[in-house]
């Protein structure tokens, strides 16, 4: 087991330095795998949001933007690469902090830190290539006009992020917004803020210009709400629950402030009868048990072709019982605790409601007997599910999969699309044409074929319906933080000639 680090005592990161929260309040940090309080984080309030937004505004326009917002992309790229290098240097201690904060297995948090560094590097490249894309000409039908576009940073952005991949979800917003030339105020989740505060320390080490990134921790209503409604915040990018997303959209609408929303999901995984069962079982498990199912894109509704359903479920149960559920610091752990007691109780309630509505808990459904403390839940498989049950309709955000059988392809698609959400979907089949048909038929922003969850920084990420709108990652992620300006020039020597000139005296 890895050595336990001292949890750094950080303040709010504002204007390039640490600042005590205005009301002097702090929130406890609880390790969900042990239930021990291991540290605390500052609790920002509206007063701190004011200071942070002012710092970001100042950084955006300081010296006419020459040092950041209007600087060559290569200048910003240099800082993003320096941040990536520091993340790599500190990979093991950041991964450990994130595991202690969230209960995720250490193998997962190590992989997340690789993704964080890769995301900063990717957007460093895009920051550089942004300059080449400036002034791209627009073809016009009149020769006496010339037009081109400028891609400009939106301004000061508020970035509000969840706890399930604390530093990675923050990075999906911080890296592209800074690459675009925006300045930002990041508000991570109060349930897991430690690594985001360390990002502040890294920004100091690389001498990021003061105020370019500000990090305020605290409760949603106290720190997130004033940020999303702040008149000097030009855009809000939010990842979190659909309920909070609605609040943020309502607040932003009062000022016609643009928002992008990455929200929840209830994604399907369709498995046909022409597959290698064990391979498909492993993807089904990865799709819903990785990160204890606390994944927005978790494929938590499993649709099995009736011909393989019995065999598939027997294998799924056998594989699920073989998962190493343990303290997330233990070598080989594949299922840690969920993030908090509240989340633990919520998941247990989902399972008991499913049972009371007539579903069968085929496997799991309780605390593992060998773990007396911590918020652990066994991998849980639920069958005999009807489409009206809560377990079919609502996002659990836990290691819980519900299963239905289908007979035909069209029935599978209908069941898959039977949801208000539209983040992701997956299909496993050896029939390539069928996979292509299904990828078109699914109402979601992401489709995986013969897998579930692999994510690449180059490819767009985001949902439809109540899973939100806007796309992160890839070049679309950069566009989120750019505004397009057209510049049109009249280039003829002739007068315009619409009005009669006044007659000469
Ligand atoms: N689509 C995606 O890419 C994606 C990725 C990760 C998580 N998620 C979703 O996130 C949810 C889990 O995360 P969570 O529990 O942290 O979500 P949440 O909505 O409770 O909190 C998200 C963030 O919003 C803040 N917040 C809460 N109330 C607020 C308010 N009134 N105004 C402004 N900010 C407020 C929180 O403090 C936190 O920082 C799940 O629904 C999951 O599907 C989606
Ligand atoms: C697919 N990943 C990489 C696990 C990230 C999912 C982000 C949402 O929870």
Q: CB–CB of 330/1 below 8 Å?
A: yes
CA 404 to ligand 1 centroid distance, Å: 29
Pocket test for ligand 1, best of 46, 187, 240, 467 (most atoms within 8 A of CB): 240
Pocket test for ligand 2, best of 164, 264, 297, 454 (most atoms within 8 A of CB): 297
pLDDT at 3: 54
Q: Write the pLDDT tens digit of every residue in 308-329.
A: 999 999 999 999 999 999 999 9
CA 389 to ligand 2 centroid distance, Å: 26
- Residue 249 tokens read as 């959209």
> From CA 158, how far away is CA 227, in angstroms rounded?
6
Closest protein CA for atom 3 of ligand 2: 455
Mean predicted confidence (pLDDT) in 405-417: 98
Strand 235-239: give its sheet, edge to edge: 17-19, 12-14, 213-215, 183-187, 156-160, 235-239, 259-262, 468-469
CA 257 to ligand 1 centroid distance, Å: 19
Measured from the CA of 296, which atom of ligand 2 is nearest? 9
pLDDT at 203: 98
pLDDT at 503: 83
Residues whose beta carbon lies within 6 Å of some atom of ligand 2: 164-165, 295-297, 453, 455
Predicted complex ipTM: 0.96
Q: CB–CB of 398/381 below 8 Å?
A: no
Residues whose beta carbon lies within 6 Å of some atom of ligand 1: 160-164, 169, 187-190, 220-221, 224-225, 228, 239-241, 244, 247-248, 262-265, 296, 395, 397, 423, 463, 467-468
CA 176 to ligand 1 centroid distance, Å: 19
> From CA 174, how far away is CA 49, in angstroms rounded?
17
CA 454 to ligand 2 centroid distance, Å: 8
Residue recorded with tokens 């007979």: 407
CA 356 to ligand 1 centroid distance, Å: 29
Closest protein CA for atom 8 of ligand 2: 296
Helix (H) / strand (E) containing 355: helix 341-356
Which residues are designated catalytic? Answer: 262
Among candidates 312, 284, 264, which has minimal Cα distance to 452?
284
| pTM attached to this predicted model | 0.97
Q: Angle at the Cα of 81 (from 58 to 218), degrees rounded to 5?
A: 50
What is the sign, positive or negative, of the torsion defined by CA atoms of 108, 111, 117, 122? negative
How do 482-490 and 145-153 pair as beta strands? antiparallel
Angstrom CA distances, 305 to 20, 117, 184, 269, stand at 57, 40, 48, 11
Is residue 5 pLDDT above 80, yes or no? no
Q: Write the pLDDT tens digit of every residue in 85-114.
A: 999 999 999 999 999 999 999 999 999 999
Strands (E), 130-280: 136-138, 145-153, 156-160, 183-187, 213-215, 235-239, 259-262, 268-271
- Residue 432 tokens read as 């390539």
Average predicted confidence (pLDDT) for the chain: 97
Partners of 156 in beta bridges:
183
Measured from the CA of 162, which atom of ligand 2 is nearest? 9
> From CA 17, how far away is CA 289, in angstroms rounded?
39
Is residue 280 pLDDT above 90, yes or no? yes
- Residue 276 tokens read as 């290698």
Q: Write the pLDDT tens digit of every residue in 353-400.
A: 999 999 999 999 999 999 999 999 999 999 999 999 999 999 999 999
pLDDT at 139: 96
Helices 73-89 & 91-102, crossing angle to 10 degrees? 70
Measured from the CA of 294, which atom of ligand 2 is nearest? 9
């Amino acid at each position: 087991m890895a050595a336990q680090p001292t949890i750094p005592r950080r303040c709010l990161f504002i204007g390039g330095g640490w600042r005590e929260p205005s009301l002097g309040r702090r929130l406890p940090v609880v390790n969900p795998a042990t239930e021990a309080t291991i540290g605390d984080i500052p609790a920002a309030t509206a007063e701190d949001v004011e200071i942070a937004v002012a710092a970001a505004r100042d950084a955006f326009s300081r010296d006419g933007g020459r040092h950041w917002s209007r600087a060559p992309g290569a200048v910003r790229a240099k800082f993003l690469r320096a941040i990536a290098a520091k993340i790599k240097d500190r990979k093991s201690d950041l991964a450990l902090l994130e595991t202690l904060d969230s209960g995720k297995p250490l193998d997962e948090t190590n992989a997340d830190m690789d993704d964080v560094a890769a995301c900063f590097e990717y957007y460093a490249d895009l920051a550089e290539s942004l300059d080449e894309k400036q002034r791209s000409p627009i073809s016009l039908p009149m020769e006496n006009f010339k037009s081109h576009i400028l891609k400009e940073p939106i301004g000061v952005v508020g970035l509000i992020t969840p706890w399930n991949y604390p530093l990675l979800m923050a990075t999906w917003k911080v890296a592209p917004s800074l690459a675009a030339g925006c300045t930002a105020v990041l508000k991570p989740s109060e349930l897991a803020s430690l690594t985001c505060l360390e990002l502040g320390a890294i920004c100091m080490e690389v001498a990021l210009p003061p105020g370019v990134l500000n990090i305020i921790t605290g409760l949603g209503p106290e720190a997130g709400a004033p940020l999303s409604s702040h008149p000097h915040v030009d855009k809000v990018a939010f990842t979190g629950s659909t309920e909070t997303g609605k609040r943020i959209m309502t607040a932003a609408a009062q000022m016609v402030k643009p928002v992008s929303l990455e929200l929840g999901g209830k994604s399907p995984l369709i498995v046909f009868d022409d597959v290698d069962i064990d391979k498909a079982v492993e993807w089904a498990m990865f799709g819903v048990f990785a990160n204890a199912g606390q994944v927005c894109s978790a494929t938590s509704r499993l649709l099995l072709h009736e011909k393989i359903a019995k065999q598939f479920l027997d294998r799924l149960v056998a594989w699920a019982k073989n998962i190493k559920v343990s303290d997330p610091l233990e070598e080989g752990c594949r299922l840690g605790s969920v993030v908090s007691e509240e989340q633990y109780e919520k998941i247990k309630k989902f399972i008991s409601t499913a049972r009371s509505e007539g579903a069968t808990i085929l496997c799991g459904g309780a605390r593992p007997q060998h773990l007396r403390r911590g918020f652990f839940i066994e991998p849980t498989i639920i069958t005999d599910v009807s489409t009206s049950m809560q377990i079919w309709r609502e996002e659990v955000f836990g290691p819980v999969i519900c299963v239905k059988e289908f007979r035909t392809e069209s029935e599978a698609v209908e069941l898959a699309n039977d949801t208000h959400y539209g983040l992701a979907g997956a299909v496993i089949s050896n029939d390539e044409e069928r996979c292509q048909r299904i990828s078109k038929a699914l109402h979601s922003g992401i489709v995986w074929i013969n897998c579930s969850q692999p994510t690449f920084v180059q490819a767009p990420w985001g949902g439809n319906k109540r899973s939100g709108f806007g796309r992160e990652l890839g070049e679309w992620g950069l566009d989120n933080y750019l505004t397009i300006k057209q510049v049109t020039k009249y280039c003829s020597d002739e007068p315009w000639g619409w009005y009669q000139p006044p007659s000469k005296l």
